Structure 1
């Protein structure tokens, strides 16, 4: 009876049916997990409040095979919820202080919060400088993407590996795709990126959608396709970048359409991109990492998706591998060779982009 009351409070009947989809075995397992969660809460363990436990979280709890895994997941959710709560409390306190100062007419540049310090002029503190809001900057960066769609070089991100990754790997991939999108649109000459093989019902797409909720809007400059790159671009121009092939990428080809696989392989280390490119008969290349970099002992040579695209952006601008490979994390490299010293010098150079390009061309 107590268990029935707890389940009714936490998950309504329709919510329970939506999670288990009528499966009696899953329903029984979910009830056991709910009781297990309440026992942990009564024992004083790190368990988030009931308001934070959504249907999606219960679905994730069902997928975890062990009790220790569920305990760690609840501890992670507890710490995340506390951070959000503390951030909200600080925001409300700051707002309350500002309103009290405004009511008492004691507003001055020194009494304002740090981010509000500025010269004040005339009526209502009008300023001679234009304030650039986040929306203004977003429109500016999106205008670069619109120009790239019209005139820029195309780049394909293959998102067809979601079924070969675990839930956590899909989360990492979605985060890297978000960083990739942000870094590309901030570049002065961005790629026209096409996210291909993107199934709207896949776990990866749902996680990516949380980072970019406007990705499917018609007016948003983002190209997402459920079709393959073979259906969108000429096959003779496609070059699949995979670290498992033998042939290295010499110079950057401005006429090629490079393909980067959206995959994080922390569990499955099979050469999936190599097998896919061979099966489809596409030209393959890899970054010449060993030629330009001296790797440290015990460090992996794998790069994230956003690091690969950042390398391609710099390589497209300068054609200089020493400069483009600055995006490789320094912790992976050894500082004992001449090659790495040259790399470090090119990484720390204060020269502008134009001067670097002229020096390289000379």
Structure 2
């Protein structure tokens, strides 16, 4: 019985769409000539002509009420598309026709002004004057002219930055690690936010002239975080980027005695920056239930952990957590200047009084 009901429903839907297709094929008309449109309207039956008059009266009434609708003349030339639209679709189509008509009028006005200026210049003989051969300049510098320096494309700059960062790594740049093993604790939206922040952090590190050796540890290539990161950096698996991705945890890749986990909710404060330490940043965004996952992991693996001395240099609000890209910028500036006050200039101002 259920199968019979589904079959009858499919037949009804199919017949409905066949009727709509037949009507729309009869009403399909693409000419914009007003005389031809009027001739086409005269070939319709009385019901369809009454519906077109209803559209024209509706547009006239809405124009009197200063709503976004086209003129009656422009509506009539496009009336064939209105026949099968619902009420909401028709209102949206009125708005679209109004914008299209305004754009055409604006372009036509600009073309008329341009033609008048051209005619005035021609009448004044501006184009008849020829410059002497001595005044002709074969090399002119400026916008739209010859340039002293050739254009450097963005891909060339990216390639140079990648090479420079990789060379810094070869010379023994300090290591900065993002722990990406928290993907299964986050929602798809939070994973996408982490991927966005990691992409910005990667760009900040690559642009800096004293960059880190950047490592993404604990990265599961079956996780939502990896899928989101591939959308942000499509060349992450095809080009030699200054980025090292490890499936293993940071405690398995690097010596434990050199790891220092940075997290905001800890009593220990990071007093001084040390180039020999490998600083670990937890790649997690917890908008809802804030669980101390990174602290528990650090205590379980017996890794040193500390927080940045934010309160000593800024008057903080309740939320002291920094984004992943802000932490990267702070660590880059701290490595360069060894000045906490300058480094915290890269933190978001909304977190301070």
Coarse TM-score class (shorter-chain normalised) = 0.5 to 0.7
- The corresponding residue for 1:285 is 306
The 3 A distance-change label for structure 1 pair 249 and 128 is same
Q: Which moved more, 1:283-292 or 1:143-152?
A: 143-152
The 3 A distance-change label for structure 1 pair 3 and 332 is farther
Q: How does 1:113-132 map to 2 (within 5 A)?
A: 118-121=143-146, 127-132=147-152
What SS does structure 2 have at the residue aligned with 1:279? helix
Aligned partners of 1:162 and 1:2: how far apart in 2? 47
Aligned length: 224
What SS does structure 1 have at the residue aligned with 2:234? coil
- The corresponding residue for 2:131 is none
Aligned partners of 1:3 and 1:326: how far apart in 2? 67
What SS does structure 2 have at the residue aligned with 1:284? strand
The 3 A distance-change label for structure 1 pair 253 and 168 is same
* Runs of 4+ residues deviating >3 angstroms: 2-5, 41-45
What SS does structure 2 have at the residue aligned with 1:195? strand
Residue 248 (structure 1) aligned to one of 253, 269, 287: 269
- The corresponding residue for 1:169 is 190
Aligned partners of 2:350 and 2:302: how far apart in 1? 36
Aligned partners of 1:254 and 1:139: how far apart in 2? 27
Report deviation, 1:3: 10
The 3 A distance-change label for structure 1 pair 271 and 120 is same
Unmatched segments (≥5 aa) in structure 1: 6-40, 46-92, 94-116, 122-126, 335-362
Pair 1:325 & 2:350 matched: no
The 3 A distance-change label for structure 1 pair 267 and 133 is same
Could you give the per-residue CA deviations for residues 236-256 of structure 1, whole angstroms, max 9, x where no partner exists?
Answer: 101111112210000101100
Residue 169 (structure 2) aligned to one of 132, 142, 149: 149
In the superposition, the TM-score normalised over structure 1's length comes to 0.58
Q: How does 1:32-181 map to 2 (within 5 A)?
A: 44=88, 118-121=143-146, 127-150=147-170, 151-181=172-202
- The corresponding residue for 1:124 is none
Residue 315 (structure 1) aligned to one of 334, 337, 341: 334
What SS does structure 2 have at the residue aligned with 1:226? coil
- The corresponding residue for 1:8 is none
Rg (Cα) greater in structure: 2
- The corresponding residue for 2:225 is 204
Aligned partners of 1:153 and 1:262: how far apart in 2? 19
Aligned partners of 2:12 and 2:282: how far apart in 1? 47
Could you give the per-residue CA deviations for residues 48-84 of structure 1, whole angstroms, max 9, x where no partner exists?
Answer: xxxxxxxxxxxxxxxxxxxxxxxxxxxxxxxxxxxxx
Pair 1:305 & 2:321 matched: no
Report deviation, 1:218: 5.4
> Is the contact between residue 165 and residue 268 of structure 1 (CA under 8 Å) also seen in structure 2?
no
Report deviation, 1:228: 1.1
Report deviation, 1:143: 1.4
Aligned partners of 1:315 and 1:244: how far apart in 2? 21
The 3 A distance-change label for structure 1 pair 227 and 118 is same
CA RMSD of aligned residues (A): 2.5
In the superposition, the TM-score normalised over structure 2's length comes to 0.59
> Is the contact between residue 316 and residue 352 of structure 2 (CA under 8 Å) also seen in structure 1?
yes
> Is the contact between residue 184 and residue 191 of structure 1 (CA under 8 Å) also seen in structure 2?
yes
Unmatched segments (≥5 aa) in structure 2: 1-9, 15-84, 90-106, 108-141
Report deviation, 1:294: 0.7
Aligned partners of 1:314 and 1:240: how far apart in 2? 18
Could you give the per-residue CA deviations for residues 255-289 of structure 1, whole angstroms, max 9, x where no partner exists?
Answer: 00000010011013011100011111100010111
Could you give the per-residue CA deviations for residues 174-229 of structure 1, whole angstroms, max 9, x where no partner exists?
Answer: 10001000111111111101101111111011101111011122523321111111
> Is the contact between residue 216 and residue 224 of structure 1 (CA under 8 Å) also seen in structure 2?
no
